[in-house]
Amino acid sequence: MKRRIHLISGVSLVAAMTSLAMLPSPALANSSASTRQAGQMTFEFSGQPTNFTVPDDVCSLTVEATGGPGGTGQYGVPGGGGADVLTPLAVTPGEVLTVNVGGPGHSGEDYDDPQRSLGGYNGGGRGGAYIAGGQIAGITAGGGGGRTTVSAGTTDLIVAAGGGGGGGSFFSSDIGGGGGGLTGEPGHGLPGDDEGKPGRSGGEGGQGGINVPRPDPNGENGSSAVGPIGGAGGNNTGDPHGGVGGGGGSGVTGGGGGAASPTAQNSGAGGGGGSSLAPEGANIATGAYSGTPFVHFEWTPCANPVGDVTVVKQDADTGKPLADATFQLWKETNGIPGLQTTGTNADTRIGEPCVTAADGTCTRTVPTGTYYWEETQAPPGHNLPADHVFGPIELTPENAGTGVSTIVTDTAKKPPKHCHHGHHNNHSHHGNHGNHGTDKVGNLRHRANA
């Protein structure tokens, strides 16, 4: 059951459904939200990751993320439900989050589905089947569900809701997939050495189901997870009526695939559920979600004061505003004096680069704190100074109401000198350094010379 909360305004992003049993790397879609108000946004399953830019005055989100459920095995064997994660999430205004909603595992019962038994988008494991001539020709299990994730940028995983394992197949409902959860559930199987063994959960390492060895088995063991990707269910390699294993659900660590029946008369087993991840204070419900996966964000304006941080670009000689200079705002977050933009302990980039408008300004609305403007590209006809970092800039509760501005001046490029009558002039070159001062209204002023 979805636990969505409804606030003032919302936007639903629903795209055509596609399913791939792999971790993706397609181009990102982009989403933005209005600022200075409470709001919400829902990301339905679309088969591709989507970028979300945190509004300027938002410091925290409430996030609900659901993993893809496992597919149903032939003869109505249920797949495991996806994890349902509900968590608070601290964010920075302008921060870009990447949302990737996992897909449900494909059913082994849907004869018309060209992706029958495949795992759900974003890492679900394939369900086992009897294969002849390169095609499914007999009993078929369900594929594992894909994991749903929220990450910072393209690398740092913040929230992950594990997918459910696919249901195994034969004449029993007790061989279903395990649910996605904090550790996930193992798949289900029947007792006895003649039955397929279930896949383990992601939290248990994601090992595939391993049958008791015998000289001439009718089916394969389940495959183990490979990182977040669920293991494949065991195929039937003998009599086409023997049971087959469900695919493992995707997760932080994927679940293992269930083993096929070692005999022609017995059942396969379900795939294991994928494990999940969330910040401290999260509620992770194991196997609780069986619908179409989604991610839901809700937010309210920052509890702490926010204000405008502005950079004003001017020509050093004329004082006229300069358009088309590019700046990046950074927040001091690592406790090291000065700005660090690279390495494992860099300060925090705030939003995307800003290009100055005709009035020479770029503005960001941010919580109180210490910031730096970095000029990354000079306006046309001007020089980018060697020292192109400006700050520290202090936005405090006392000045947040009016905001703080930084005036930065650049010198224009000088035309080259030409030699006449075959004579060459000797030139000496001296590196000039930026001069800093304060104008009469108290703005921080920087002069950057070529």
172: number of Cβ within 10 Å: 20
Q: Which of 253, 218, 213, 215 is nearest to 234 (CA)?
A: 218
What confidence tier does 447 reach under pLDDT thresholds 50, 70, 90?
A: very low
Distance of CA 387 to the CA centre of its chain: 34
Burial, 37: exposed, middle or buried (Cβ in 10 Å; 0-12, 13-18, 19+)?
Answer: middle
The H or E element that residue 285 is part of is strand 283-289
Digit-coded pLDDT (tens) for 302-357: 877 889 999 999 998 999 999 999 999 999 999 999 999 998 899 999 989 999 99
Q: Which two tokens stand for residue 111?
A: 């004869």
| Token pair recorded at residue 294 | 């989604």
Q: Are 196 and 178 in contact, with CB atoms under 8 Å apart?
A: no
Higher pLDDT, 94 or 9: 94
- Amino acid 429: pLDDT: 37
3-state secondary structure of 29: strand
pLDDT interval class at 25 (50, 70, 90): very low
405-422 pLDDT, tens digit per residue, is 999 988 888 776 665 554
Residue 155 — pLDDT band, cuts 50, 70, 90?
A: low
Residues, the chain, total? 450
Q: Is the pTM of this model over 0.95?
A: no
- Mean pLDDT, the chain, integer: 85
Q: What is the pLDDT of residue 170?
A: 87
Which pLDDT band holds residue 425 (cuts at 50, 70, 90)? very low
> How many Cβ atoms are within 10 Å of 116's Cβ, its own excluded?
21
The end-to-end CA distance of the chain, in Å, is 63
- Yes or no: say if 390 and 311 are a contact pair by the CB < 8 Å rule: yes
pLDDT band at 133 (very low <50, low <70, confident <90, very high): confident
> What Rg, from alpha-carbon coordinates, does the chain have?
29
What was the pLDDT predicted at 417? 65
